[in-house]
Amino acid sequence: METIDANKIFPAALLNDAYNCRTYDLKQSISLSLKALRISTLLDDKLMMGRSNNHLSLFYMIRGDYKRSIKLAKTAISYFEELNDEKGIADANFNIASVYYKTDHFHLGLVNLSASLSTYRKLNDYHNQARVYKSLGTIYEYFGDQKNALSSYENAIFAARRINDLNLISNAYNPLSGIYLKNNKVAKAFALIEKSIAIKNKTGDVRGLAFAIYGRAKVYIHKGLYELAELDFKRAIEIHLDAGEKLGLGMAYQKLGYLYMQMGKLDLAKQVLEQALEVSNQYNIAFVKFRSNYLLYQIAKQQQDTVKSLAYLELYLHQKEAVINMQTLQVIESYEWMNKMQATEQDNRLQKEKADITEKKDRAEQTAQMKQNFLSTMSHEIRTPLNAVTTITSLLIEKYEGEDKVLLDSLKAASGNLLLVINDILDFTKLDNGKVVLEPRPCELRVLLQQIIKTYENLAIEKGLQLTLVTNITHTECFEIDETKLSQILGNLVSNAIKYTEVGNVVLEANKLEQVESVTHDVAQIRFKVTDTGLGIPKEYFAEMFESFSQPKSITTRKQGGTGLGLAIVKKLVEIYGSQIHFDSAMGRGSVFYFDVNLKSSNSVVKLPVKAQHKLKNKSVLLAEDNMINAMVAKKLLGNWGISTVHAVNGLDVIEKAKSMAFDFILMDIHMPEMNGLDATAYLRANRNLNQQTPIFALTADITIEALENYRSFFTGFLRKPIEIDKLYEALSEVDH
């Protein structure tokens, strides 16, 4: 049996040495920590056993052995909980959080980081506060929330300066430089990353140096100094390979692939991107994975390899959808949870009732604003590239036959599914905030019902199901209806029915029950019903089926998929119509959902199909769009209708072009550099110019814009990206010149 002289060898000293050498010799860190664990086990020192396990968790996390890292952290927590050691628990939670956000479980990362941050604040532990804030910044930045990312990195620097920890200051400089670069502040980004590199060289943090060099390479790309960027990326890769750092390795491979693509070295780019995919697949680094597939799609497109380019694009969309489907709403909820936790923490320090109420109010407002900012960013960043995909697909799909058409149909379906997921998330949030009202207009109900059937017919056919419409509504009957919301209700019910039906049929019914005389209008009571012969719903699920994120586990598989928001949205929309959703279901026999609404009769409005109309020929449009791909697509679409287009790249460009020519319409993007679309529109309306009265439509991927009351009156209308071609044509055609 091994004997230990506790007076000569102390586990705490070994762990301290292990932590200090982690930046340049990770193998030695693990060796020292294993020795500390062995000694503390023989001494039955539970505190040191917990700390040893926790140090090992950190070092294996750095190496990319995530399963072992989490197992060790949980073992450490068991010791710390027994000892009631808050600091130890927080340290272990930080390691677990680091694993989660590196493997795309961002909501779990936020929860664990928030729990750790609460303890570190309580203990005035600035070292670990800096580490947590830097990690929070990484998560916010990944979702495009630059405002909160910037705030987190600045908090990390502030905390690190309190204890004069140069390495922690440098760690925050790296991503902060990246944010400056994204905002085109190149000189500021370069100065900051050079400071970071200087610090790393001074402290001997070799692993941290690799991340700093990677950051400098990104600046070199922006400057067009490709050879210098290549040298830096290769140096970063060399360090990461030697240190066993998997996240940094995947990032460096992916960015090097992008560099080679910019240099026109496409074969070399493909080779490096395949290495990035190998690392990201092995260690589940989601953002490296789908970014690499997107670059491979661009390369295949340049090489005119249609089949491969579409295959890579489908992979990219599928992987992006998976992250959105799993993460987005959970991240939003975690934002709220974190802020409520911080509010509670603040409340405990307040003594007076008035101060307590004020603090809660402030926290609630901050949470609401954070959620609004996040939704705005997510909506814009995801829907903007999706606009190009869906619109280009719609333009191309009629020009191809055979295998190419099949691929385009698949791409259209994939992007359509992604858009449905995004719309569910965004629409549910608006509904939950009570910001949705009915916008009725004359609609031929039977035509609308037939369109819904047509939309989901292929989905039913693919499963061998029969989808039918049963109605006593005639072709000539017209009602005041909010088409979008009614379509969303019935579409969710029909798609749900198809999703959970394997054999048989799905029936959509719409029948007038009675006619009631109103003071000024004839009002018809109409019952809408969707019936299926599917799996049925378990009785124990009845009470929760209309709750958000709820799906019956006993019958749901990955095959069904979805956000779990469909029925929650249906319930809220039906209530806006002044009705209630009812259902009946039996396991193995199917389900029926129905609701009754009173609809006002209206005069029928006859509209020609878009392709048969020529109202817009010889019209002119000023198109404000900073995304060059979306601008190209929009110009092509508008050109098909005989419209001449002048392109502006930002709000200032809009104002200049509006001075020299009067346009029939202005299509205004909102998120643009230099000056955004809101400020540009406000300027045109408030100042004398050739386009002061020109109809201006907000054409935006940000669904939160319509809620900005101060700007609503400036716009003629609001149109969403991805572009709905018929709605765009209809909006422009209805303008009275």
Which of 220-224, 329-333, 520-524 reaches the highest mean pLDDT?
Answer: 220-224
User: Please, which residues bridge with residue 597 across strands?
Assistant: 526
Burial class (CB in 10 A: 0-12, 13-18, 19+), 46: middle
Looking at residue 87, what is its pLDDT?
A: 92
Tell me the C-alpha distance between 324 and 322, whole Å.
Answer: 6
| 610-733 has CATH 3.40.50.2300 classification | yes
Pick the CATH number of 1-84 from 1.25.40, 1.20.120, 2.60.40, 1.10.3470: 1.25.40
DSSP letters for 444-464: EHHHHHHHHHHHHHHHHHHTT
* 257/542: higher pLDDT: 257
- Interval 172-214: pLDDT, tens: 999 999 999 988 899 999 999 999 999 989 988 888 899 999 9
Looking at residue 624, what is its pLDDT?
A: 92
Which of 86-90, 283-287, 348-352, 709-713 reaches the highest mean pLDDT?
Answer: 86-90
Amino acid at 73: A
Residue 23 has pLDDT above 90, yes or no: no
* Mean model confidence pLDDT for the chain: 79
Percent of the chain with pLDDT over 70: 74
Please state the length of the chain: 737
Helical (H) or strand (E) element with 178: helix 166-182
Tell me the C-alpha distance between 32 and 39, whole Å.
Answer: 11
DSSP letters for 21-45: TTTT-HHHHHHHHHHHHHHHHHTT-
Mean pLDDT along residues 80-106: 85
Neighbours of 734 (CB within 10 A): 11
Residue 455 has pLDDT above 80, yes or no: no
Residue 261 has pLDDT above 90, yes or no: yes
Looking at residue 196, what is its pLDDT?
A: 92
Mean pLDDT along residues 520-530: 82
pLDDT band, residue 66 (cuts 50/70/90): confident
Provide the b/e sequence for 276-302 (b: ≥16 CB within 10 Å): bbebbeebebbbbbbbbbbbbbbbbee
pLDDT band, residue 593 (cuts 50/70/90): very high
The residues, any chain, with a CB within 8 Å of residue 46's CB and separated by 6 or more, are: 79, 82, 83
Residue 537 has pLDDT above 90, yes or no: no
Mean pLDDT along residues 1-30: 74
- 505-517 and 522-532 beta bridge pairing: antiparallel
Mean pLDDT along residues 585-613: 74
DSSP letters for 350-373: --SHHHHHHHHHHHHHHHHHHHHH
User: Please, which residues bridge with residue 456 across strands?
Assistant: none
Q: Distance between the two ends of the chain, CA-based, in angstroms?
A: 96
Is the CB of residue 239 less than 8 Å from the CB of residue 269? no
Mean pLDDT along residues 542-563: 51
- Interval 679-714: pLDDT, tens: 899 899 989 899 999 999 988 756 566 656 667 788
CA 293 to chain centroid: 17
Instruction: Please report how the helices 353-396 and 628-640 are oriented relative to each other, as an axis angle in degrees rounded to 10.
Output: 50
Residue 308 has pLDDT above 70, yes or no: yes
Tell me the C-alpha distance between 198 and 210, whole Å.
Answer: 12
CA 42 to chain centroid: 49
Residue 626 has pLDDT above 50, yes or no: yes
- Interval 458-509: pLDDT, tens: 778 888 899 999 999 888 888 888 887 788 788 889 988 888 888 999 999 9
Tokens found for residue 632? 């190209």
Looking at residue 409, what is its pLDDT?
A: 63
Which of 299-303, 363-367, 505-509 reaches the highest mean pLDDT?
Answer: 505-509
Instruction: Residue 134: name the closest of 164, 94, 103, 96 by CA.
Output: 94
Mean pLDDT along residues 642-667: 92
- Interval 381-416: pLDDT, tens: 555 566 556 666 666 666 666 666 666 665 665 565
* 449/110: higher pLDDT: 449
DSSP letters for 217-272: HHHHHHHT-HHHHHHHHHHHHHHHHHHT-HHHHHHHHHHHHHHHHHTT-HHHHHHH
Looking at residue 342, what is its pLDDT?
A: 47
Is the dihedral angle over the CA atoms 200, 204, 208, 209 positive or is it negative?
positive
Looking at residue 258, what is its pLDDT?
A: 93
| 441-602 has CATH 3.30.70.330 classification | no
Residue 31 phi/psi, 5° resolution?
Answer: -60, -45
Percent of the chain with pLDDT over 90: 30
Write down the domain spans for the chain: 1-84, 323-432, 441-602, 610-733
Looking at residue 397, what is its pLDDT?
A: 65
